[in-house]
Structure 1
């Protein structure tokens, strides 16, 4: 199979430089780039007995740069194995700016199909330069991929009137029960806000415009990115990542979000056939963006995302050899009009060293800290029962010396705050975020998944999720509980041996 000079250079670079990164310098079970920079996960798919994950990748620097597709595989969604770089910016549609986000699927003949956005730079007679985005294909065997000679398969010639050729990206592809194919692509509409365009194909190679799937009309941020569409528990679901949102009463924060729409399709309406019934954030934490889902062989819909945010990219370790990580995969269901997210059940097989404490009493003068319940790579369950006078219960983790990260529950206003301000940070960017939580009787259940450089908090069995990265001293593994007012707490801790 032909491999361009650009692809060979990337593969040689990652082979040479990944050897300089010791395993303990990485997370234990969150996927990171082999070297350099990672952003959006791409092409999350099941192929030839493994889950494949691709990702936006710059192997030459820990900053965003010319976009390649990195590649890794896993059999259990926990332990990842690197594969060689899959795509490099080496053809006309993508040479100047790169191979942007997209998806993957298995063709009927057993080949692995990648669909990605190519970005090229166009210079006009007046000297101005703009990026033009098109959708392109590559076909391979799970290791090597050849770009389709008919690229691009979707360009400005396929767009409806008023659709931007500059912001036209991130295809999500799937096959319908009748054997035909669909893909949804993010686009900027005439009103300068996002819309999702639906395309159809009989063979996955020749595409035509079908309709608008969803239209923003200026409600949720500006441009929409990384769309996903699937059916779950009898409902149609759209996930996408709006840019430049203002905070609102639905719980969205300022900046970049991930939005979930639950509803149904009205295929008779060409002006946006998706009918929303419920809309809410997917993750209320600091670091989460650009989701992808896959349907597992046993029928579970599994989600993952870039556990980072464009708003917090300056928060990093100086001289690190990698940047960016993918969230722990999550199983999805729908309950009472809300997307429920739980850590994939495969994580539980790595639990070890269980420790429990029941009815731990904490108040203004009693702090609970037991070295037997410490852990930096751990799966923790807290059940918090505040008394009527309790103003807040704070859980500290990655604690060592004067440094720690925290999760604080305030039962009187039913909020949960995650905070890394005291983890040894030296960058003045966003370090805390607060979300509303549901606690009818005041009690709250938290499941906290800790890795070396992150925390993902699942509230009330996945009703709300809050994710964040942190770079506390890797040796800091203390866990403590304290309160203002009286509370009782049940604690279960498992170490994760991965």
Structure 2
């Protein structure tokens, strides 16, 4: 099972080579999912950012396209989003050939000035930068980045949400070129405080009507990060969400959860945002961690960084309040060939596979090899626990196998029978526990391929291969 690319995932997106981080500009157009991403094509470490570009028809297999945006006189190309301008309100295309508008942050390295700019494309591959950039200038405010455009149903125009220090700001525009600030939202009033990054804002339907979701990736204050080993404060970067309303000007946290709401409890899911121009809400995140991303093992092509699998979401009302629930789109046809695993040890012949498990009570699923490397997924009455401390290489960074980073845990949301979906792809493990409401994304770097799956306790599992 050894291959030249021991760690490069099969169905988790990776760059052609070298460094990648945040997903950007995700949009669905003419039957293809477009993924842009933070990319430094010259080395396997962070550098002057470009927008890489890839497309897919199934969210599992990706075709690389040429780099979409290069650094310019305004700076590097930081994170942002794309919107298909169907009505050509920008005047940069036509009704017959609507332009794809990229809204992104220019970051000037010399003084870290961050401003918002736009570019447009008529073939959805080659972009022309707008002559009037920046469209949202900045007079020196730090941490002013990552615009995410969305349709504003109240004003019948486009709005965007933008990270601005400890809060996010909202802007609206009639033409995608002239933007006016309409409101803001302070992240730390409820939930986690810190520096905001990569926000997203969108509606989801529930039995009680429409609710809005605000997602914010957070850089925690140094004095908070790692101080407590709970699932909220153990890392320097974490993503949270809020459930509430959008009044056309700003978001309101009407649900006011007593605890922060996390879309992922693992170490390796950051800057996750949704696809535009898609009826269902599908999210993708960077499956890595700023604390060790530049040190992780890599293969011959020097790739560093992968995306999570796409996750379709819905909003579910629980006894604890509203929670996002996730599923993996695109895997149903592969599950058709699934077969049940026996309790105890089962031989493993591939390093890219899925498990659909039914949880009737406490139990454990373990992947291991003959050298003693193992990763464990444990279900107790109170918690879901993913332990990667002994999963493989750990010495590349001091905290990687610590209790704080190596043991991923979250409180149970389902006390009765539930479904747990698991996907493992060479170096990345994704778990959607408690009917998808308790997700984990965890990297692991086995020196030798895992050879066995062991299923114990009150868990049954069906296995399917992913190619």
**TM-score, normalised with respect to structure 2:** 0.85
Pair 1:204 & 2:176 matched: yes
Tell me which residue corresponds to 1:277: 256
Pair 1:355 & 2:339 matched: yes
Contact 1:285 1:418 in 2 (8 A): no
Deviation string for 1:440-478 (max 9, x for gaps)? 25x654221111111100112201001111221464342
Q: In the aligned structure 2, how far is the partner of 1:56 from the partner of 1:395?
A: 34
**What SS does the corresponding residue of 2:238 show, helix, strand or coil?**
coil
Q: In the aligned structure 1, how far is the partner of 2:394 from the partner of 2:141?
A: 40
**What SS does the corresponding residue of 2:135 show, helix, strand or coil?**
coil
The CA deviation at 1:73 is 0.5
Q: In the aligned structure 2, how far is the partner of 1:401 from the partner of 1:481?
A: 19
Deviation string for 1:3-48 (max 9, x for gaps)? xxxxxxxxxxxxxxxxxx9677621111101111000000011123
Pair 1:132 & 2:113 matched: yes
Residue in structure 2 matching 1:186, options 144, 147, 163: 163
Q: Which moved more, 1:283-292 or 1:240-249?
A: 240-249
Residue in structure 1 matching 2:85, options 107, 127, 141: 107
Q: Which structure 2 residues correspond to residues 109-258 of structure 1 after superposition, within 5 A?
A: 109=94, 110-122=98-110, 130-140=111-121, 141-156=123-138, 165-177=141-153, 179-188=156-165, 194-217=166-189, 220-233=192-205, 234-244=210-220, 246=224, 251-254=231-234, 255-258=236-239
**What SS does the corresponding residue of 2:399 show, helix, strand or coil?**
coil
Contact 2:383 2:409 in 1 (8 A): no
* Greater helix content: 1
Contact 1:260 1:339 in 2 (8 A): no
Question: Larger relative CO (CA 8 A, sep 6+): 1 or 2?
Answer: 2
Tell me which residue corresponds to 1:5: none
Q: In the aligned structure 1, how far is the partner of 2:255 from the partner of 2:360?
A: 36
Residue in structure 1 matching 2:392, options 393, 406, 423: 423
Tell me which residue corresponds to 1:259: 240
The CA deviation at 1:404 is 2.0
Cα 1:397/1:183, change in 2 over 3 Å: same
Pair 1:311 & 2:296 matched: no
Q: In the aligned structure 2, how far is the partner of 1:280 from the partner of 1:248?
A: 17
Cα 1:238/1:65, change in 2 over 3 Å: same
Contact 1:115 1:173 in 2 (8 A): yes
Residue in structure 2 matching 1:471, options 445, 451, 459: 445
Aligned residues: 431
The CA deviation at 1:143 is 1.4
Pair 1:334 & 2:306 matched: no
Tell me which residue corresponds to 1:492: 462
Contact 1:115 1:171 in 2 (8 A): yes
Q: In the aligned structure 2, how far is the partner of 1:29 from the partner of 1:394?
A: 25
Tell me which residue corresponds to 1:30: 12
Tell me which residue corresponds to 2:427: 453
Q: In the aligned structure 1, how far is the partner of 2:434 from the partner of 2:190?
A: 32
In structure 1, runs of 5+ residues without a counterpart are: 1-20, 123-129, 158-163, 189-193, 361-367, 387-391
Q: Which moved more, 1:471-480 or 1:223-232?
A: 471-480
Cα 1:224/1:181, change in 2 over 3 Å: same
Contact 2:27 2:82 in 1 (8 A): yes
Pair 1:75 & 2:64 matched: no
**What SS does the corresponding residue of 1:166 show, helix, strand or coil?**
coil
Residue in structure 1 matching 2:365, options 391, 395, 417: 395
Tell me which residue corresponds to 2:328: 343
Deviation string for 1:299-330 (max 9, x for gaps)? 21001100111123255115651000010000
Residue in structure 2 matching 1:93, options 74, 79, 82: 74
Tell me which residue corresponds to 1:47: 29
Cα 1:465/1:226, change in 2 over 3 Å: same
Q: Which moved more, 1:238-247 or 1:134-143?
A: 238-247
The CA deviation at 1:267 is 5.8
Contact 2:83 2:276 in 1 (8 A): no
The CA deviation at 1:488 is 3.6
Deviation string for 1:363-411 (max 9, x for gaps)? xxxxx1122x65421111233445xxxxx73321253432222212333
Contact 1:421 1:432 in 2 (8 A): no
The CA deviation at 1:415 is 3.9
Q: In the aligned structure 2, how far is the partner of 1:426 from the partner of 1:440?
A: 37
Q: Which structure 2 residues correspond to residues 351-390 of structure 1 after superposition, within 5 A?
A: 351=335, 353-357=337-341, 360=343, 368-371=344-347, 375-386=350-361
Q: In the aligned structure 1, how far is the partner of 2:452 from the partner of 2:363?
A: 17
Cα 1:209/1:295, change in 2 over 3 Å: closer
Tell me which residue corresponds to 2:436: 462
